Structure 1
Amino acid sequence: MAKRLFLLCASATALACSSAAAAEEGMWTFDNFPIAQANRDLGTNIDQTWLDRVRLASVRIGGASGGLVSREGLILTNEHVASGCVEDLSTQERNFVQTGFTPANRAGELRCPGMTAEVLTDISDVTQRMQAAGRGLSGEAFTRARDAEQARIEAEACGDDRSRRCQVVSLYRGGQFKLYTYRRYSDVRLAFAPEHRASAFGGDLDNFSFPRFAVDAAFVRIYENDRPVATPNHFRWNPAPPRENQPVFLSGSPGATQRLLTQDQLRTVAEVTLPLEQLINSELRGRLIQFAQASEENAFIAGQAISSVENTYKRGYGRQQALIDARFMAARQSAEEDFRRRVAANAELGAEIGDPWRDLSALQGEVRRLYPAYYLLETRAGGGSQLFNWAEDIVRGAQERPKPNADRLPEFGDARLPQVEQRLFAERPSYPTLDEVQLAWWLSKTREILTADDPRIRTLLGNESPEALARRLTSGTRLGDPAVRRQLWEGGLAAVQASDDPLIQFLLRIQEPTRAARSEYEGTVQAPTDRASEALARARFAIYGTSLYPDATGTLRLTYGRVKGWTHQGRTVPYATTFAGLWDRATGAEPFDLAPRLAAARERIPADTVLDVAASTDTIGGSSGSPAVNAAGEIIGANFDSTVLTQRNAYGYDPEVNRSVLVTTAAVTAALQHAYGMNHLLQELGVSGQRPARRR
């Protein structure tokens, strides 16, 4: 127990204790990966050349991950990462969600609307420029100065080169700023996906759990000039099953962690922000399920939206359990107290940074006051409606683009406009009936939480009910047509203001309250939080040096650990599952019904083929699709899940229960060969004609 508490202490404030983190702990940036430490912990012999190869074979796909696995642009990721593409390419009559997408050859690969793939090519330090931009400023002036400098740096680095993406990212909560440069591919095509039932076997009941029995894998391919991209940097496909205790590395783009928050900040998460988000998600889930149950068409339309909100809600549930775990929170408290004592013992450092803990504590009242409006009117505005999101991009883009680049909202800076235009012009299907449900829910919850007496509610609703307004906006808009969206975007502010589209007019009407909520939150909360967090970062660097990892920020990271099970509350969980376990778990009743093509291949797939494994690697949301790599740099699987207990990973790493869940290349090979007949992909992967490797 003492060892475990210490490791939690170490993770809670990024090595805030007196020794290094646990072997498996850390979402490390590629420019600060502890090669020697990893080799000592795992008994491996990786080097910088190995690290560079892994980086150049790793891919960011939207908010998730993937790995290049051939010389011709083929990428392994998860089916649930590619599911948006699968749904966009499907109709009720040709439903690839139900049948799987299994083209006979490369000519049958179809373009994924709006999908991009990015490979990290360079990391450079821009800390001095970013910190200097805000020096001596406060409130909104601080935020605007930082945003302006970020826009200048990104524009200088990428210019109008649409084949690259330049992104300034904050690390260590403002302690460092790095410019990440990516090679960007905007033509991404679906090459293979199993039935969704194969990748999501067990449904929400099995989600965030282990043992798992899912073939959650898919392939996409990057193209340029209508030809597959040559990708000499790729992972060699290894169809052998992972062994227990085998070292494994995961390279992906984890979304966000909050390990560097102070205890006062974390109490606000526990008492205000997370409960609000859970309340919102639970009701949306109910409304979407009710909508889906009304007809087969609705079930088809709402499938991805339901999966997304269920995933978000269950992740939040796991985090709530961590925040009420007395042992876990006591370890974090102990870590913070130790850190503060070390700072207090250094008079020069204390004089330099002041008391950032006090400053952050004083801000929490403002967070509690302002967060509900900021969340509902800005970050969650529209309730997930695709039509609303398109309208917001068009309206805000029209308002922002005439401004100097440095004066715009960051998301409309010159370096980021290609991403906006790609998602705006993508020829995706539109489902107004689903948008109506999402908009009505958002409007009703915003009125309920902000109250009907809030003047902003009158601006949102006018004299209409949430339901009537949502119905009018979604039935009258023409934004489902990409040609209309393009015309408005290219026509600029004059065309937008002259438009009679009800959704465009609605977005124009609500700009004042939504922008005001954002501006007030950023000036009153975010700016002083950033300044205090920078001071804490300086203290960490002064005391612990640079041998620590930052919170996850959606940037490429490398984590390492071993393939292994665990014991919790007297129950021992083995490290692996097999197809035999899948056959045994299948009852025939949803959600434990086999995908038809897997069921048909039951006698052909060797029952002892390893299907999924657990690993002690340090992951979080966004790590989906991360290639699992052995010490030889070969791909042996792809991360697709973690456990409910692992969701505490947002706030600290617990080696006893933290586990990532991987689908193995052995399982993917068996499925491609015996269930889906994807012989051309097997040949490309170099395993054509081989029998699937079995458990040893």
Structure 2
Amino acid sequence: MKRILVAVLMVAMSFPALADEGMWLPMLIKRLNYEDMQKEGLKLTPEEIYSVNQASLKDAIVSFGGFCTGEVISKEGLLLTNHHCGYGAIQDHSTVEHDYLTDGFWAMNKSEELPNPKLFVRFLVRMEDVTEQVKGAATAEMTDEERSQAIGKAMKEISKAAEEGNEYTAEVKPLFKGNAYYMFVYETYRDVRLVGTPPSSIGKYGGDTDNWMWPRHTGDFSLFRIYMSPDGKPAPYAEENVPFQPKHYLPVSMDGVQEGDFAMIMGFPGSTKRYLSSYGVKEALDVSYALRIKLMQTKLELLKKDMNADDKIRIQYASKYASTANYWKYLIGQTKGLKRLHVYEKKQKEEGDFANWVAADSNRKEEFGATLNDLESGFATMTDYSAPVQYSIFVPYLTEFIYFTRNFEAMKGMMGEEEKSEALVDFSKSMEEPVKEHFKDYSPAVDQKVFRALIEMYYNEVDSAYRPKVFEAANNVALTEEGEKTSADFDALVNYIFEKSVFVNQERLEAFLADPKAEVLENDPGMLVADAFMANSGKVRALVGEAAAAINRSERMYLKGMMEMLPERAFYPDANSTMRVTYGQALSYDPADAVHYDLYTTLDGVMEKEDPTNPEFVVPAKLKALWEAKDYGQYANEKGELVTCFLSNNDITGGNSGSPVINGKGELIGTAFDGNWEAMSGDIAFEPNVQRTISVDVRYTLFIIDKFAGAGHLVEEMTLVKTPKEVKPAGKKKKKKKSKKA
């Protein structure tokens, strides 16, 4: 059976795909995609894209901090990514006196570049198909739990073996819902320094209003530099470290893009659910998304109010707010997109075809007969417990002190009769720096308001059997016991926690770590609350544990069956933060009847949107002066326009932020930073007619670096490429087609 499944996977993946759909493993391009990519305009060989033995494009692409993508653009390790990817690092260096978020920052020489101890980049060294080794550890007789344990053990053993005798890290990940397994080996660099960032009025132009929208005019980029030890190896920050020398870096094209040009994106997309069933779509639409949106909106409203009132809080919470707001708006857009594009009905149609295929053969009935019923039953249980599950996950996540307090759980096991054991002393010292980092960007007053709002929502919207046993201040009575609670009850609970807990006050926590006592830890109201939420989360997870296992098993069998049913269809694995390639064209689109969106935007549009009364649409005076003088230098297009952003039909998702957009010759033409509102269902169902990637045109990036910031030395460090114009014989000029504009 193993050999049959591998054969099915190879057949399924070998059929040509639509050029714009699919997040493909780069090691399989030669077999699966290369012919199609050539037809679209690729000039490179497969080995020039991915190779283990020679320099290739993959060697210029990094996982940036584990949450974004970046690309090396010079022989001295200069790294380009999005402004919103570098936002946390930019914020870390910002103060009220030196507000780099507002004003921008540019290192005029390498000595001015700013270190970021929490930041790292990972290069992919190689990937390897280990399906046979992993699946060989499981047997047909195993239960779901036994199978999961055996598979997990095999994955760890394979990763450990790959790490022996080198400085690499390896991880094995499931693909195709566990029907295949691949190992990914990485080299990690931890000395990554901030080189330059435009002010937020450029890097975040349009703010939440324009997020996920087209037309877009955002200069969403930032620059970092990777450093290595003098002997050429990864090393933590040290003054003697030298700029990283890459195996390959991306040359920068000055040609721009035209409608239909080949466009390829390489990066580390985070997560998609393209094979989610109709039952999963229904659960998300009916319950879970609405709950998440409401919880996050509550927090965002409270943060915004305090951020607007205090510059210190604005800086402290800038990155946290942006991250939450991005996911909140994404969920709103995805909900609308799933409904507008009738994704639930399309999934039902696929499942109906699958059911008919299974029913036509007795062997299929035996293997796949229970698959759809188990999916339906599993998601029905998830729907029943959706509110307890979502609140148990998101309230602790959105409440900073609960999330932070969990870091000190390990101290309980170190507190014995000898309270100051060596382990306890070492742990206390190890937490000194994390405590400083946490409180640097933490406001107890803000967190108190957020927790106060969320805990009341939890109490009012979740049955008492599934609420955490959180304690009141005055009488130690569980908040979840029967009886109506008044506003004063919630106030008393929250006030007591923030007056007494060591985990919400830096001075109290540092004093505790200097002299830790078991009785303080055991009776701390912050720890009691964190423990209550943790215990409740475990109880809620147990309620849906069997359903989750049934869903995982059934999704694996459903996809296996679909591959057998449709051998002519191209199947590609869901995104899982591993390197992928997506290819397509620079392409405009028609979002609605009688509406056309052009391929690119220009600096003219920045000025059209300008609104000095709205912080999201303030234009820097120098940028406006450059626009008025049309002082664009070599960065204008043939029409004399300064292109800001452009569209392509590449298939991306979160994690692809900062990914390079590469032309057919392997040159950088832009930096991907967003998707479009009309295709927000894209993580679950790709819609080729409207799904687009929004990218910063690299010429706008260079213009801001050079003409706006005066940091032309950084541009000189890059390799700029300009294709000579062809001399065409004189003849009749073709009439240009008129385009409709929104």
TM-score (norm 1): 0.84
Q: State how 1:200-599 maps to structure 2 within 5 Å.
A: 200-225=204-229, 226=238, 227=241, 228-325=243-340, 327-377=342-392, 379-395=393-409, 427=437, 429-433=440-444, 434-452=446-464, 454=466, 456-458=468-470, 463=477, 469-470=493-494, 473=497, 476-477=501-502, 503-504=526-527, 506-521=529-544, 523-545=545-567, 547-569=570-592, 570-590=594-614, 591-599=616-624
Structure 2: gaps (5+ residues): 1-9, 51-55, 230-237, 415-429, 480-488, 726-735, 737-742
Residue of 671, 692, 696 corresponding to 2:704: 671
Deviations 1:291-316 (A, max 9, x none): 22333333333322332222112211
> What is the CA-CA distance between 1:128 and the residue it aligns to?
4.1
**SS where residue 380 of structure 1 aligns?**
helix
Q: Equivalents in 1 of 2:164, 2:471: separation in Å?
A: 39
Q: Equivalents in 1 of 2:359, 2:59: separation in Å?
A: 43
What is the match of residue 195 of structure 2?
A: 191
Deviations 1:57-89 (A, max 9, x none): 211122111111122222111001110111111
What is the match of residue 21 of structure 2?
A: 25
Provide the aligned C-alpha RMSD in A: 3.8
Q: Equivalents in 1 of 2:217, 2:256: separation in Å?
A: 15
Conservation of the 8 A alpha-carbon contact between 2:388 and 2:467 = no
Higher relative contact order (CA 8 A, sep 6+): 1
What is the match of residue 482 of structure 2?
A: none
Residues 421 and 220 of structure 1: is their aligned pair in 2 closer, same or farther, counting only changes over 3 Å?
Answer: farther
Q: More displaced, 180-189 or 151-160?
A: 151-160
Conservation of the 8 A alpha-carbon contact between 1:382 and 1:442 = no
Identical columns (%): 22
> What is the CA-CA distance between 1:459 and the residue it aligns to?
6.2
Conservation of the 8 A alpha-carbon contact between 1:388 and 1:503 = yes
Conservation of the 8 A alpha-carbon contact between 2:79 and 2:224 = yes
Residues 290 and 250 of structure 1: is their aligned pair in 2 closer, same or farther, counting only changes over 3 Å?
Answer: same
> What is the CA-CA distance between 1:199 and the residue it aligns to?
1.6
Matched, 1:683 2:716: yes
What is the match of residue 44 of structure 1?
A: 42
Q: Equivalents in 1 of 2:259, 2:442: separation in Å?
A: 46
Residue of 621, 627, 648 corresponding to 2:660: 627
Conservation of the 8 A alpha-carbon contact between 1:175 and 1:533 = no
What is the match of residue 120 of structure 1?
A: 124
> What is the CA-CA distance between 1:617 and the residue it aligns to?
0.7
Matched, 1:54 2:57: yes
Residues 354 and 344 of structure 1: is their aligned pair in 2 closer, same or farther, counting only changes over 3 Å?
Answer: same
What is the match of residue 5 of structure 1?
A: none
Residues 597 and 30 of structure 1: is their aligned pair in 2 closer, same or farther, counting only changes over 3 Å?
Answer: same
Q: Equivalents in 2 of 1:468, 1:15: separation in Å?
A: 64
What is the match of residue 676 of structure 2?
A: 643
Q: Equivalents in 1 of 2:471, 2:267: separation in Å?
A: 42
> What is the CA-CA distance between 1:166 and the residue it aligns to?
2.4
Q: Equivalents in 2 of 1:191, 1:518: separation in Å?
A: 44
Matched, 1:87 2:102: no
Q: Equivalents in 2 of 1:57, 1:341: separation in Å?
A: 47
Conservation of the 8 A alpha-carbon contact between 2:126 and 2:186 = yes
Q: More displaced, 122-131 or 632-641?
A: 122-131
Q: Equivalents in 2 of 1:502, 1:151: separation in Å?
A: 38
Conservation of the 8 A alpha-carbon contact between 1:383 and 1:438 = no
> What is the CA-CA distance between 1:670 and the residue it aligns to?
0.7
Residues 30 and 46 of structure 1: is their aligned pair in 2 closer, same or farther, counting only changes over 3 Å?
Answer: same
> What is the CA-CA distance between 1:626 and the residue it aligns to?
1.0
Bigger Rg, structure 1 or 2: 2
Conservation of the 8 A alpha-carbon contact between 1:78 and 1:217 = yes
Q: Equivalents in 2 of 1:237, 1:92: separation in Å?
A: 36
Q: More displaced, 18-27 or 243-252?
A: 18-27
Q: Equivalents in 2 of 1:440, 1:165: separation in Å?
A: 42
> What is the CA-CA distance between 1:152 and the residue it aligns to?
3.9
Q: Equivalents in 2 of 1:531, 1:659: separation in Å?
A: 33
What is the match of residue 101 of structure 1?
A: 105
**SS where residue 447 of structure 1 aligns?**
helix
Deviations 1:356-380 (A, max 9, x none): 1111111122211333333322x42
Residues 26 and 423 of structure 1: is their aligned pair in 2 closer, same or farther, counting only changes over 3 Å?
Answer: farther
Conservation of the 8 A alpha-carbon contact between 1:129 and 1:149 = yes
> What is the CA-CA distance between 1:112 and the residue it aligns to?
2.3
| Amino acid in the other structure paired with 2:624 | A
Residues 70 and 441 of structure 1: is their aligned pair in 2 closer, same or farther, counting only changes over 3 Å?
Answer: farther
> What is the CA-CA distance between 1:246 and the residue it aligns to?
0.9
Residues 97 and 507 of structure 1: is their aligned pair in 2 closer, same or farther, counting only changes over 3 Å?
Answer: same
| Amino acid in the other structure paired with 1:176 | A
Conservation of the 8 A alpha-carbon contact between 2:368 and 2:557 = yes
Conservation of the 8 A alpha-carbon contact between 1:164 and 1:183 = yes
What is the match of residue 415 of structure 1?
A: none
Conservation of the 8 A alpha-carbon contact between 1:391 and 1:503 = yes
**SS where residue 651 of structure 2 aligns?**
coil
> What is the CA-CA distance between 1:217 and the residue it aligns to?
0.6
Q: More displaced, 501-510 or 574-583?
A: 501-510
Deviations 1:469-493 (A, max 9, x none): 55555564358879979x97x99x9
Conservation of the 8 A alpha-carbon contact between 1:192 and 1:218 = yes
Q: Equivalents in 1 of 2:433, 2:554: separation in Å?
A: 35
Q: More displaced, 98-107 or 51-60?
A: 51-60
Deviations 1:250-298 (A, max 9, x none): 1122222221011122111111221221222222222222222333333
Q: Equivalents in 2 of 1:539, 1:275: separation in Å?
A: 32
Q: Equivalents in 1 of 2:346, 2:532: separation in Å?
A: 48
Q: Equivalents in 1 of 2:133, 2:520: separation in Å?
A: 38
Q: Equivalents in 1 of 2:508, 2:113: separation in Å?
A: 24
Matched, 1:662 2:666: no
> What is the CA-CA distance between 1:97 and the residue it aligns to?
0.3
What is the match of residue 158 of structure 1?
A: 163
Q: More displaced, 583-592 or 345-354?
A: 345-354
> What is the CA-CA distance between 1:117 and the residue it aligns to?
1.1
Conservation of the 8 A alpha-carbon contact between 2:215 and 2:601 = yes
Q: Equivalents in 2 of 1:375, 1:555: separation in Å?
A: 27
| Amino acid in the other structure paired with 1:599 | K
| Amino acid in the other structure paired with 2:583 | Y
Q: More displaced, 360-369 or 444-453?
A: 444-453
